Structure 1
Amino acid sequence: MRPLDGIRVIDLSRILSGPYCTMTLADLGAEVIKVEPPNGDDTRGWGPPFVVEESAYFLSVNRNKKSIVLNLKTEEGREIFLKMVKEADVVVENFRPGTLDRLKIGYDVLKEVNPRIILASISGYGQTGPYRNKPGYDVIAQGVGGLTSVTGEPGRPPVKAGFSIADIGTGMWAVIGIQSALIAREKTGQGQWIDVSLLDTMISWQTYLAGNYFASGKDPEPQGGAHPNIVPYQLFESADGYFNVAVGNDSLWAKFCQVIGEEELIDHPKYKTNADRVRHREELIPYLQNIFLKRTSKEWVEAFEEAGIPAGPVLKLSEIFTDPHVLAREQLVEVEHPTAGKVKMTGIPVKLSDTPGEIKDHPPLLGQHTEEILTKYVGLEEKKIKELAEKNIVKVYNGQKVNN
């Protein structure tokens, strides 16, 4: 068994935050039914790159799901959706707040149909507050939530994180909220509405930076590859590239100084304690940087690791996905896809000893499971499904693509 076996999720979401959430639920055993509009999830067309004709972006976050094409802007489409909700456990959506109400399928409607339903709403700014109606995208949330202001090199323009951390992080909060609501439902018998936002994610992750601000009243500044509270704990340039080293306490500092051949720094009055090193980082870091230019990243990392000091190289994806440890952890998997062939994707990061997750199914083709879902979960006969398809309320996969 898998931990979420028997849980049925209706996924109205698209792009990244919602699909990442529902992929995680599906990996852990939930049955996820992806309800797509007639043109499909936007990301089906986001490329290049494409794997044959499938978007690499879409493939990355939609495995283990079933796809039904359903036009929710029609009365019959809404009726079908609500019949699906009656037998479901969770609905996930990431529309702008108020959209479900305009479609007449808001939380009040859903809980009337199924009091046990859990609705997870992902948005840019949340379901309440002055900004609730603003559109929210990852890059905007990184800026408004403070991440951009502390990312980048000192004295240089701010930059966003290298991937969509606000979207993915909010998807993770949605998973946590859903699992918490499922546990609560076991006690109360009732579902509930989960409200998570990209902005709240960014703010909640400020942690020690927010703590530093509350304590000092000073806005944190970008540190490049460094840490505001620990020195040295950062990126350094070597003779052939870059590496990170993390000297998290004073005993590690003594070992660090021995590795670099600078034992006199151990008890130096400016550097003896971490607080000393933080106060004098402007002198210490350039001095250390000159030393690190004398050897390669590999040589430094091996020397530090041998001494028990946390260190690691800065790898590219081409290096990560050939690393023996990454492969041993099954963080690279291959799934057979009907049109794209063997598709590589990242593995499941949560390792459960007795009820592990599983990657069973390829990301679905558009409308691939429309007929199956309408028959199995809504109780429609083939004649009725054909009627709905002719009226463009649903689209049925015919072995190559959905009907037009």
Structure 2
Amino acid sequence: MIREVLKGITVVDFTQIGAGPTCTMLLSDMGARVIKVEPLGGEIGRSLGPAWVGKDAALFHGFNRGKQGIALNIKSEEGREVALALIGRADVVVESMRPGAMARAGLGYEQLRGKFPRLVYCSISAYGQQGPYAGRAGVDGVLQADSGLMSLIGMPNGEPCKVQAPVVDVMTGYVACMGVLASLSQRDRTGHGEYVDASLLNSALALQQPSISSYFADGVVPSPIGSAAPYSAPNQAFHTADGWIMVAAYMPERWNNLCQVLKRPDLLDDPRFQTSPLRVKNLGALTATLTETFRTRSCADWLVELEQADILCTKVADYADLDRHPQIRANRMLVDLDLGERGSLRVPGFPLNSCQANAASYLRAPDLGEHTEAILAELGYSEEKIARMRAGGAVFCSSGLPSAVDCHE
């Protein structure tokens, strides 16, 4: 079962916000034990709301399910000692600090590889570990802009837009997870760990494979064209009498079928529209012509006829539609995290073998420092030592949290 393939693997997670937590969430979903190391005040992702679940952002819960949590001050001698003890028992370290930060704390790959030769070490950064931009910080939106992705999104002559969902963060998390899995496989053969360098910039470029390849083929800089595709038409959303419908009918047979459904056989003889490349060239005229007809009936009416004609189509859904989507329900892709007295939170589940993988429940994300004492005890620290470290600011335990006051009200 895919939820157990990494059983026995331990991951120490020094990541924050989106990309790194996505990587370690996936590793946890596949059975690894993930110990999330946070600064004493908690990672930044806890504060990125609305929406809130208790005192933490829903975003944090979505990215950090299934992990154990320990709060350390790795800049302190005792906190660093704990981090090293954790790493000494781990198979994988994943970190997303600015390049050089882990080395300054004595926890960089070059400092650890000799002592822990089987360790797989994954660094996630904005621009990578080398090059003139290596020291720059960056987040999803900045990399959507810097990679060219933002230049593709929106309406013609409109202001720059970005994908609201943090697609570069999530893509980077998947790329980093792929690197970790490949390195673990290599370690099984060689006995030695490897270094994985994943960056938001590289992942954002990989996300745009077709568009970038097209640019280097013809030298034409792409610009926003709304929901349409630059390589095929019609392949876009059209306004109906009561909403929007996405239609992909660019293949010759489906273009013919679409013209029949719309009762516009004359379009088949229009020299502007006879092939998909010509329809792309004359996209403005095509869109105006088809929209005029689509506006005459409802989404539901069009969907029935279009599907009967084997035309690829669907209503443009919003998030309120997802829980009612019959295939999403059949795939078990929305799962509920039990948050105890805070209720539950519905989040996307594991996307591979989803019917089987998401049949089993997931543990919620940890409260700040929730497992600090248990993990320290596992490492051999006495209660007295833990109390001294806590008093000295080296660690934080959830038992020291204030009463349940929502500081984001």
User: TM-score, normalised to structure 1's length?
Assistant: 0.94
Are 1:167 and 2:165 an aligned pair?
no
Q: Deviations over 1:84-135 (max 9, x none)?
A: 1111111111111111111111001221231111111111111011111111
Question: Could you tell me how far apart the structure 1 residues matched to 2:251 and 2:100 are?
Answer: 50
Structure 2 residue identity aligned to 1:185 = R
* Aligned counterpart for 1:216 among listed residues 193, 215, 218: 218
Shift of the 357–107 alpha-carbon distance from structure 1 to 2, 3 Å rule, reads farther
Partners of 1:88 and 1:368 lie apart in 2 by 20
| Correspondences of 1:1-400 after superposition (within 5 Å) | 2-351=4-353, 358-376=360-378, 378-398=379-399
Question: What is the percentage of aligned positions where both structures have the same residue?
Answer: 37
Distance 1:280 1:47, change over 3 A: closer
Question: For residues 154-190 of structure 1, what are the alpha-carbon distances to aligned partners after superposition, in whole Å with 9 as ceiling and x for unaligned?
Answer: 1112211121111111111111111111111111111
- In structure 2, give the amino acid aligned to 1:242: W
Over aligned residue pairs, what C-alpha RMSD do you find? 1.9
> Which amino acid counterpart does residue 103 of structure 1 have in structure 2?
A
Structure 1 portions without partners, runs of 5+: none
Q: 3-state DSSP class of the match of 1:302?
A: helix
Give the whole-Å Cα distance in 2 for the aligned partners of 1:358 and 1:230.
41
Mapped to 2, the partners of 1:399 and 1:313 lie a distance apart of 50
Give the distance between the partners of 1:359 and 1:186, measured in 2 at CA.
Answer: 30
- 3-state SS in 1 of match to 2:87: helix
Residue deviations 1:180-204 (CA, integer Å, cap 9, x gap): 1111111111111111111111112
The answer to whether the 8 Å contact 2:171/2:207 transfers is no
CA contact (8 A) 2:330 2:355 kept: no
1:327-353 deviations in Å (ceiling 9; x for gaps): 222122212213412222222211168
More displaced 10-residue stretch of structure 1: 31-40 or 387-396 = 387-396
Amino acid at match of 1:382: E
Question: Within 1, Cα distance between the matches of 2:260 and 2:238?
Answer: 18
What do residues 237-289 of structure 1 show as CA deviations (whole Å, max 9, x unaligned)? Answer: 11111111112411111111111111232344332221222233232221111
Checking the alignment, whether the CA contact within 8 Å between 2:333 and 2:349 is kept in structure 1 is yes
Can you list the C-alpha shifts for 1:309-368, whole angstroms capped at 9, x where unaligned? 111111111111222322222122212213412222222211168877854311111111
How many positions carry a matched residue from both structures?
A: 401
CA distance in 1, matches of 2:397, 2:210: 51
* Paired residues of 1:27 and 1:358 also in contact (CA < 8 A): no
What's the TM-score, normalizing by structure 2?
0.93
* Structure 1 counterpart of 2:244, one-letter code: Y
Kindly tell me: are residues 18 and 310 of structure 1, through their superposed partners in 2, closer, same or farther at Cα, counting changes over 3 Å?
same
Q: Distance in 1 between matches of 2:24 and 2:402?
A: 23
- Which amino acid counterpart does residue 387 of structure 1 have in structure 2? R
Question: Residues 352 and 92 from structure 1, CA distance in 2 versus in 1: closer, same or farther, beyond 3 angstroms?
Answer: same
Distance 1:150 1:29, change over 3 A: same
Hey, what's the Cα distance between the residues in 2 that align with 1:397 and 1:158?
43
